[in-house]
Structure 1
Amino acid sequence: MPYFLRRLLLLSFLSLFLSPALLAQTGAIRGKVLDGTRLSLPGASVRLPALGRGAVSDEDGGYLLADVPVGTHQLLVSYLGYQEFSTTVTVTDRATTTLPIELSAGLNQMGEVQVLGARLQGQAKALNEQRTNANITNVVAADQIGRFPDANVGDALKRVPGITVLNDQGEARFGLIRGTEPRFNSVTVNGERLPSAESGTRSVQLDLIPSDMVQAIEVSKTLTPDMDADAIGGTANLVTRAAPNGLRVSGTAGAGYNFLSQKVPYLGSLVVGNRFLDGKLGIIASGSYFNHRFGSDNVEAAWDRTEGGRDYLTQQEIRKYDVQRIRRSGSVSVDYRVSPNSTITLRSLYNVRDDFENRYRATYSGLKAPGSNGLTTGRYEIETKGGNGKHNARLERQKTFSNTLSGEHLIASRARLTWAGTYAYASEDRPQESYISFRTGNISLRPNTVDEEHPSVEPAAPINYATIPFRRYQLRNDNTHERDLNGRIDLLLPLQTEGPFMNSLKVGGRYRDKHKEVARSRGELVTDEDVTWGAIPTADYSDNNFLANGGGTRYRVGPAPQNSALPTFQQQFNATYEDDTYDNLSASFRADERISGGYAMLNQQLGNRFSAIAGLRVEHTYIRYQATIPADATGEGPTTEATGINSYTNFLPALHLKYNLTDNTILRAAYTNSLARPDYAALAPTRTIDASENELTEGNPNLKATTSTNFDLMAEHYFTSVGLISGGVFYKDIENFVFTTTELNYTDPVTGNTFLRYSRPLNGNSATLRGAEIAVQRQLDFLPGVLRGLGIYANYTYTSSRANGLAERTSLPGTAKHNWNTSLSYESKRLTLRVSVNRHSGFIDPEESTLTLSDGSTTFRHLDHQLQLDANAGYAFTPKLRFFVEANNLTNQPLRYYQGSRSRTLQSEYYNARFNAGLKFDL
Structure 2
Amino acid sequence: MRANMKCKLFFRFFSLTAFYLFTSVLFPQESQTGSIKGRIIGSDDKKVLPYASVMVVGTNNGTATDLDGIFFLRNVLEGKQQLKVSYVGYKTKVQEITIQPNKTVELTVSLDPMTIESEVIVVTGQAQGQHNAINQQIQTNTIKNVVSPERLQENPDANAAEALGRLPGISLERSGGEGTGVVIRGLESKYSSVMLNGVELPSTDANDRSTGVSGLSQYVLQTVEVYKALTADMEANSVAGAINLKLAEAPDSLNYSIIIQGGYNNLNNYFGNYKIQGDISDRFFNGSLGAKLSVNAERVNRSRETMSAGYAVESNLYGGLQYEPVLLSSTTLHKINNIKEKQAATLVLDWKFNPTSKIFWYNFFSRSGGDYTDVSKTYNPLGKTVTYNINQDNSANDLLFSSSIRGEHSFDLFDVDYGIAFSQSHGYSPDNRMWIFTLSPGGYDDKYANNTTRMLQPEQIVALSNDNSDITTLQKIHLDDIGYSTNDLIQKNLTSYFDVKYPFNFGDMISGYIKGGAKYRQVSRNRNYLSAIQYVSTSPQFSFLASKEFDWATLPTGSYISAQHLVDYNVSDFLDGSYNFGWYPRIDLLNNLFNWWNNLSNYYYGLGTDAIIAAFGQYNKIGFTADYLASSINNQDIDEKYYATYLITEVKAGDVIMFLPGVRYEKVTDDLSGYYVKQTPITYAGGMPLTKVNAKHSDEYLLPMIHLRVKPTDWMHIHTSYTKALGRPDYNALAPNTYVNNGMGSFVYSSGNPNLKPELWTNIDLQFAVYGNYVGMFSINGFYKEAKDKIWQRTYSRIKGDQVIPGFSESTSVSVSEWLNHQYTVYIRGAEFEWQTSFWYLPEPLNYFSLNVNYTFLKSETKYPTTRLYTTYEVDDRGRYIPTLHRVDSVATDNMINQPEDIVNISLGFNYRGLNAWLSFQYNGSMLTGWGNQRELIPYKDKFYRWDLQLTQQLPFEGLEAILNLANISDYVEKSKQKGDPRPTYIESYGWTVDVGLRYRL
Same fold by TM-score greater than 0.5: yes
Question: Mean Cα displacement is larger for which, 794-803 or 609-618?
Answer: 609-618
Distance 1:581 1:495, change over 3 A: same
Aligned letter for 2:182? G
The 3-state SS of whatever aligns with 1:183 is: helix
Which residue matches 1:915?
Answer: 994
Output aligned runs, 1:755-770, within 5 Å.
Answer: 757-764=815-822, 765-770=824-829
The 3-state SS of whatever aligns with 1:575 is: helix
Which residue matches 1:234?
Answer: 241
Which of 11, 29, 33 pairs up with 1:22? 29
Distance 1:286 1:95, change over 3 A: farther
The gaps in structure 1 that reach 5 residues or longer are: 368-374, 388-393
Distance 1:79 1:656, change over 3 A: same
Distance 1:462 1:253, change over 3 A: closer
Which residue matches 1:522?
Answer: 531
Please list the CA deviations of residues 287-317 of structure 1 after superposition, one character each: whole Å capped at 9, or x if unmatched: 2222113411111121111033432222221
Which residue matches 1:673?
Answer: 724
CA contact (8 A) 2:678 2:739 kept: no
Cα offset for 1:272?
1.6
Give the Cα–Cα distance (whole angstroms) in 2 for the partners of residues 100 and 787 of structure 1: 33
Give the Cα–Cα distance (whole angstroms) in 1 for the partners of residues 715 and 122 of structure 2: 20
Distance 1:557 1:675, change over 3 A: farther
Question: Mean Cα displacement is larger for which, 194-203 or 303-312?
Answer: 303-312
Give the Cα–Cα distance (whole angstroms) in 2 for the partners of residues 94 and 902 of structure 1: 77
Give the Cα–Cα distance (whole angstroms) in 2 for the partners of residues 73 and 288 of structure 1: 50
Which residue matches 1:390?
Answer: none
Which of 356, 367, 370 pairs up with 1:352? 367
Is 1:660 equivalent to 2:668 in the alignment? no
Cα offset for 1:66?
2.9
Which residue matches 2:205?
Answer: 198
CA contact (8 A) 1:145 1:211 kept: yes
Give the Cα–Cα distance (whole angstroms) in 2 for the partners of residues 60 and 441 of structure 1: 69
The 3-state SS of whatever aligns with 1:851 is: coil
Output aligned runs, 1:245-644, within 5 Å.
Answer: 245-264=252-271, 265-308=273-316, 309-338=324-353, 342-364=357-379, 367=380, 376-387=382-393, 394-411=394-411, 413-443=412-442, 445=444, 446=448, 450=455, 452=457, 456-458=461-463, 461=466, 464-496=473-505, 498-524=507-533, 528-530=541-543, 531=546, 533-534=553-554, 538-546=566-574, 548=575, 550-552=576-578, 554-567=579-592, 569-571=594-596, 575-576=600-601, 577-578=623-624, 580=626, 582=628, 583-634=630-681, 639-644=690-695
Which residue matches 2:807?
Answer: 751
Distance 1:455 1:81, change over 3 A: farther
Give the Cα–Cα distance (whole angstroms) in 1 for the partners of residues 760 and 767 of structure 2: 23
Cα offset for 1:783?
3.7
Distance 1:149 1:57, change over 3 A: closer
Give the Cα–Cα distance (whole angstroms) in 2 for the partners of residues 781 and 386 of structure 1: 54
Please list the CA deviations of residues 833-886 of structure 1 after superposition, one character each: whole Å capped at 9, or x if unmatched: 3321100112122xxx23345xxx684332221011112223223673322211
Which residue matches 1:861?
Answer: 939
Which residue matches 1:899?
Answer: 978
CA contact (8 A) 1:659 1:666 kept: yes
Which of 80, 83, 91 pairs up with 1:75? 83
Aligned letter for 1:539? V
Which residue matches 1:62?
Answer: 70
The 3-state SS of whatever aligns with 1:121 is: helix
Is 1:836 equivalent to 2:887 in the alignment? no
Distance 1:632 1:294, change over 3 A: closer
TM-score, scaled relative to structure 2? 0.84
Give the Cα–Cα distance (whole angstroms) in 2 for the partners of residues 477 and 687 of structure 1: 20
CA contact (8 A) 1:766 1:805 kept: no
Question: Mean Cα displacement is larger for which, 286-295 or 691-700?
Answer: 691-700
Is 1:733 equivalent to 2:786 in the alignment? yes
Which of 33, 57, 79 pairs up with 1:49? 57
Distance 1:580 1:97, change over 3 A: farther
Aligned letter for 2:952? G
Which of 160, 172, 191 pairs up with 2:167? 160
CA contact (8 A) 1:260 1:294 kept: no
Cα offset for 1:774?
0.6
CA contact (8 A) 2:423 2:494 kept: yes
Cα offset for 1:111?
2.1
- The count of residues paired between Structure 1 and Structure 2 equals 897
Cα offset for 1:439?
2.2
CA contact (8 A) 1:360 1:541 kept: no
Aligned letter for 1:726? S
Give the Cα–Cα distance (whole angstroms) in 2 for the partners of residues 21 and 588 of structure 1: 57
Aligned letter for 1:154? A
Please list the CA deviations of residues 309-354 of structure 1 after superposition, one character each: whole Å capped at 9, or x if unmatched: 4322222211111111111121121111245663211111222211
Cα offset for 1:85?
4.8
CA contact (8 A) 2:72 2:356 kept: no
Aligned letter for 1:777? Q
Which residue matches 2:932?
Answer: 851
The 3-state SS of whatever aligns with 1:23 is: coil
Aligned letter for 1:906? T
Output aligned runs, 1:168-207, within 5 Å.
Answer: 168-207=175-214
Which residue matches 2:953?
Answer: 875
CA contact (8 A) 1:529 1:573 kept: no
Question: Mean Cα displacement is larger for which, 141-150 or 115-124?
Answer: 141-150
The 3-state SS of whatever aligns with 2:162 is: helix
Aligned letter for 1:408? E
CA contact (8 A) 1:154 1:172 kept: yes
CA contact (8 A) 1:186 1:230 kept: yes
Cα offset for 1:759?
1.8
Cα offset for 1:624?
2.5
Please list the CA deviations of residues 533-574 of structure 1 after superposition, one character each: whole Å capped at 9, or x if unmatched: 54776225542221x2x334x341434342453155322785
Please list the CA deviations of residues 414-455 of structure 1 after superposition, one character each: whole Å capped at 9, or x if unmatched: 111111111111111112111122224454534855565756
Is 1:646 equivalent to 2:703 in the alignment? no
RMSD of aligned alpha carbons: 2.9
Larger Rg: 2
Distance 1:611 1:348, change over 3 A: same
Give the Cα–Cα distance (whole angstroms) in 2 for the partners of residues 746 and 62 of structure 1: 69
The 3-state SS of whatever aligns with 1:492 is: strand
Which residue matches 1:372?
Answer: none
Is 1:682 equivalent to 2:682 in the alignment? no
Which residue matches 2:903?
Answer: 819
Please list the CA deviations of residues 715-758 of structure 1 after superposition, one character each: whole Å capped at 9, or x if unmatched: 11223147221112111121112222211255772331756632
The gaps in structure 2 that reach 5 residues or longer are: 1-6, 317-323, 548-552, 555-560, 602-622, 866-890
Question: Mean Cα displacement is larger for which, 780-789 or 395-404?
Answer: 780-789
Give the Cα–Cα distance (whole angstroms) in 2 for the partners of residues 451 and 835 of structure 1: 41
Distance 1:874 1:508, change over 3 A: same
Aligned letter for 2:917? L
TM-score, scaled relative to structure 1? 0.91
Aligned letter for 1:312? L
Which residue matches 2:771?
Answer: 718
Give the Cα–Cα distance (whole angstroms) in 1 for the partners of residues 862 and 760 of structure 2: 14
Aligned letter for 1:864? D
The 3-state SS of whatever aligns with 1:131 is: helix
